[in-house]
Amino acid sequence: MSQTVDARGLSCPQPVLLTLEALQKSNQGQLTVLVDTDTSKENVLRAAASQGWQEAGVQEQGGEYRITLTKG
């Protein structure tokens, strides 16, 4: 089951908090996170790694990032 967290337009640390909440809730599977700053992208990737999730891809388009995370 794939979920999406749309954290565009939110300032730090909100994107990370939303990502952590979603990761903890779903426990495994796939999660897509949308962010619109470099800082948020870096921080979301760190947050995912700290919970044992893997980065399955980051797509950039017009300054926005679509981050795909997987676990299990």
Partner 1 sequence: MAALPRQQHPDLLVGLETADDAGVYRLTPEIALIQTVDFFTPIVNDPYLFGQIAAANALSDVYAMGGKPLTAMNILCVSLKMVAKETLQAILTGGMDKIHEAGALLVGGHSVEDPELKYGLSVTGIVHPDRVLANSGARMGDALILTKPLGTGILATASKGRLATPEMEAGMAEVMRTLNRIPEDILIAGHIHAATDITGFGFFGHALEMARGSQVTMTLFASRIPILAAAREFALMGLIPAGSFANRRFCERHLQTAPGIDPLILDLLSDAQTNGGLLLAAAPQAAQGIVTRFQEEGCPAAALVGEITAPGKGIIRVEA
If residue 72 lies in a helix (H) or strand (E), which one and from where to where? none
Between CA 3 and CA 11 the distance in angstroms is: 21
Between CA 51 and CA 68 the distance in angstroms is: 14
Shortest Å distance, C-beta 7 to partner 1? 12
Return the residue of 2, 9, 38, 59 that touches partner 1, per CB under 8 A.
38
Structure tokens at 51: 């919970």
Interaction between residue 54 and partner 1 (CB under 8 A): no
* Number of residues binding to partner 1, judged by CB under 8 A: 19
Stretch touching partner 1 by CB under 8 A, among 2-10, 14-22, 26-34, 60-68: 14-22
- Choose between 1 and 31: whose C-beta lies nearer to partner 1: 31
67 within 8 A of 35, measured Cβ to Cβ: yes
